[in-house]
């Protein structure tokens, strides 16, 4: 689509802020006013519009897409979104580990255990660690506490939490990433620990195979 506006601005409307294009407020995909809960988010949304060239590139509007998602979908079904995310705690990647006699187990424990124990302390719960792939249900008291916690989040926080949790297959990682001072890159690397381990393992095997056949 060809760029159809000249100026990009931000206006405050009560406790919310809205991006304007040539003085007209942006709307969501479903036609509601696109109101950001904070001015920094509104400014970041405005930057996406301001950075466009002669043609609009839909791939360069991640914040706009997430904002529309929060306003159009999450807002009208907050409890359903919260309950769906709680289920990730029951099959959390960081809780399912190799058998104790495997080398990977020690690596998982070293990387994952500090994240999980810190999470448990913050949330006031205890989670069950599992060796192997067989499912073991988490304590319902812990699940209920997490459910209450998630239902108390605003739609924007829930939308962001869903993105991180589903990508990491870990509610522990998702909620930890929301903490002040959290290192999201480190948390993402922790969520990908098994992939990195397998890549290193098979990469080494392939290298040895190639050496033997040269």
Among 66, 212, 89, 70, which residue's Cα sits nearest to residue 149? 89
pLDDT value of residue 183 = 87
If pLDDT is split at 50, 70 and 90, which confidence band does 13 have? confident
% pLDDT > 90, the chain:
83
Model confidence at 214: pLDDT above 80 = no
Across the range 207-214, mean pLDDT stands at 48
Among 88, 111, 90, which residue's Cα sits nearest to residue 197? 111
pLDDT in tens, 73-103: 999 999 999 999 999 999 999 999 999 999 8
What are the DSSP E strand ranges found in the chain? 8-13, 16-21, 24-25, 35-36, 96-97, 130-131
Contact 8, 37 (CB under 8 A): no
* Cα 109 versus chain centre, distance: 22
User: CA-to-CA distance for 182 and 189, rounded, in angstroms?
Assistant: 13
Across the range 54-71, mean pLDDT stands at 97
pTM of the model: 0.86
Residue 34: HSE in the Cβ half-sphere, 13 Å Cα cutoff: 25
If pLDDT is split at 50, 70 and 90, which confidence band does 207 have? very low
Among 44, 37, 52, 42, which residue's Cα sits nearest to residue 10? 42
């Amino acid at each position: 689509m060809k760029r159809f506006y000249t100026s990009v601005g931000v206006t405050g409307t009560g406790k919310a802020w809205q991006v304007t294009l040539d003085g007209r407020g942006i709307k969501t995909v479903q036609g509601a006013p696109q109101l950001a809960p904070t001015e920094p988010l509104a400014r970041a949304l405005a930057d996406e519009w301001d950075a466009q060239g002669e043609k609009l590139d839909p791939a360069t509007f991640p914040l706009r897409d997430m904002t529309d998602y929060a306003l159009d979908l999450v807002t009208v079904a907050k409890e359903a979104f919260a309950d769906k995310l709680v289920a990730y705690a029951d099959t959390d990647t960081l809780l399912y580990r190799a058998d104790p006699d495997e080398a990977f187990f020690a690596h998982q424990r070293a990387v994952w255990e500090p994240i999980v124990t810190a999470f448990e302390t913050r949330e006031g719960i205890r989670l069950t660690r599992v060796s192997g792939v067989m499912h073991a249900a988490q304590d319902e008291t812990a699940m209920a506490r997490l459910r209450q916690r998630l239902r108390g989040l605003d739609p924007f926080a829930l939308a962001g939490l869903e993105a991180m949790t589903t990508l990491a297959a870990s509610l522990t990682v998702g909620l930890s990433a929301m903490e002040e001072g959290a290192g999201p890159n480190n948390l993402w690397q922790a969520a990908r620990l098994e992939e990195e381990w397998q890549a290193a393992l098979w990469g080494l095997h392939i290298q040895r195979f190639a050496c033997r056949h040269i």
